[in-house]
A and B are shown apart, each in its own frame.
Chain A
Amino acid sequence: MEIPYTVDARPDTGLYNAKLGIWLFLASEVMLFGALFTSYILLRVGAPVWPRGSEILNVPLATINTVVLISSSITMVMSWASLKMKDFKKYRVFMGLTFLLGVAFLVIKSFEYGAKFEHHLFPSNNTFFAIYFTLTGLHGLHVIGGMIVNAYFWGPGSRMWKTDPERFTNRVEVAGLYWHFVDLVWIFLFPVLYLL
C-alpha cells in the first residue's frame, strides 16, 4: 500500500503529511527545551549568587560555534533550494557542507567540554554547570540526531531522487526544518548561558 500524501497536499490541511508531522514534533521540542529554560530561570532566580557566563565559559569558541550553526542553516536551505531547481550536484555539495559544519560544531564543543573537565568542572560542581551541561548536552544530542539524518539523505537516502524526486525534496525540507530548529535553540542558548 502506498503511503498517502507524501507529495500532494492533503485537502483538509493543505500540507503533505510529513510537514505537519515535523511541525507538531517541533512544537513538542519547544516544550522540552522550554522546560529546561524555565528550570534555568528558577535556578538562577533562587540562587544567592550566579556566575557571569562570560567569566567562566569560552565566549570566542561559542561565538565561532554560533557562526558555524548559522552557516549550516544556510547550506541546509540551499540544499533544498538546489533540489527545487533540479540541481542534484549542488544539493550534494550543500548537504555535504551542512554535515561537515555539524561535525565542526561538535569538535568545537568537545574542546570546550574537554577544557572544563581538565579544570575539574563537572555538572556536579554547582547549579550553573548542572544546567549548562544539561542544556548544551541535550542540544548536542539534537545536533548528532540531525547529522545522522542529513548523512543518510546525502548518501543512501538520496537514491530516491532518481525514483521520486518530489518526495525526496520534501524529505530534505522536513530534515531542514528540524536542523533550523536546532540552530534556533542555539541562538537562545548562546546569550543565555555564555553572555548573561
Chain B
Amino acid sequence: MDHSFEIRKHVRTYIAVFVALLALTIVTVAISYLHLEVRAAVTVALIVAVIKGGLVASYFMHLISEKKIIYASLLLTIVFFAALMWLPIFTTSDPIMYNNVP
C-alpha cells in the first residue's frame, strides 16, 4: 500500500480520536454536575479518564501497534504503578494505627 495513503488513513483516525476526546471531556464535566456521592463520582471520573488516556496512548502515541519490548517495559511500569496506588490502602490496614494499642 502507498505509504502516504496509509498516513492519510491514520490522519482520519487522529481526527476521530480528537472528537472523541472532546466529547469525553464534556461527559467528565457534565457528570460532576450530577453531584454523585464520592465513591460513585471517583469511579465514574476515573473510568472516563482511563478511556481518554487509553485513546491518547493507543492512537496518538501509537501504542496500538508497537514493538514487544515497549509493551514489556510498560507492563513492568503498570505493576509498580499499581503497587504505588495500593500503598495508601496498606496503611489503612496497619494494626498499630487502627487497633488503638496503648
Contacts and interface: CB of A to CB of B under 8 A. Distances in A.
User: Do chains A and B stick together as partners?
Assistant: yes
A70 B15 CA distance: 11
A81 B31 CA distance: 34
A113 B70 CA distance: 37
A184 B11 contact: no
A188 B49 contact: yes
A76 B56 CA distance: 12
Contacts, number: 121
For the residues of A in contact with B, the DSSP-based class is helix
A58 interface: no
Given A27-B74, A30-B81, A77-B60, A45 B69 contact: no
Interface residues of B, number: 46
B96 interface: no
A54 B32 contact: yes
A78 B61 contact: no
Given A20-B70, A31-B80, A196-B45, A38 B85 contact: yes
Interface of A: 13-15, 19-20, 23-24, 27, 30-31, 34-35, 37-38, 41-42, 45, 54, 59, 63, 66-67, 70-71, 73-74, 76-78, 81, 84-86, 176-177, 180-181, 183-184, 187-188, 190-192, 195-196
Interface of B: 3-4, 7-8, 10-11, 14-15, 17-18, 21-22, 25, 28-29, 31-32, 38, 41-42, 45-46, 48-49, 52-53, 56-57, 60-61, 67-70, 73-74, 76-77, 80-81, 84-85, 87-88, 91-92
